[in-house]
Amino acid sequence: MKARGAVSAALASAGILLAGWQAGAQVVETSSAVAASAGTTGTGTGTTGAAGTGSAGTGASGAAGSASSSGAAASSGASGSSGAAAASATYKGALVQTRFGAVQVQITVSAGKVTDVTALQLTDDDRKSVQISNRAAPLLRSEVLEAQSADVQTIGGATVTSDAYLSSLQAALDAANL
């Protein structure tokens, strides 16, 4: 039974990560098209560490790059790109441990505004935790994007997940200086 819950959680996490990756790929493609129409385009790639992943950045002047850092339980990382054409950056929130599993979110910021919130990890201790997380995450995401802050109400029936999600989100907002 626990193995089924773990597989279900892994599939749900993979789906969320895939959706975030596709959204990020569209942003990079759009930025590249704008930079190409402006003249020259330079690209840079990030590094991959033991616990974190890097990302690619694109800039109009060819001086682009990105940095990503991720540590153990409560570190925040940032990756972004420089240049006139690509002004978006991603920031990872702290990994928040709950009795039902860990929660971590990542935000994408463009022009000082949160444009996306991606759940990198959600509670997955058992099947019920996975169901609660899968129900709460999209609701929290839409509320956060509307409010542009972590000052939103928790989701009824998902209080632990909501509190951890919003704590991780606040760490990412702090890292982005928002």
Q: What is the pLDDT of residues 19-67, one digit of tens each?
A: 554 555 444 443 333 333 333 333 333 333 333 334 333 333 333 333 3
Rounded CA separation 57/46 (Å): 8
How deeply is 130 buried, as exposed, middle or buried, from its count of CB atoms within 10 A (0-12, 13-18, 19+)?
buried
Domains of the chain, residue spans = 2-175
| Structure tokens, 177 | 């200086």
Phi-psi region of 134 (alpha: psi -120 to 50; beta: other; left: phi over 0): alpha
pTM: 0.55
Q: What is the pLDDT of residues 95-106, one digit of tens each?
A: 999 999 999 999
Give the pLDDT band of residue 87 (cuts 50, 70, 90): confident
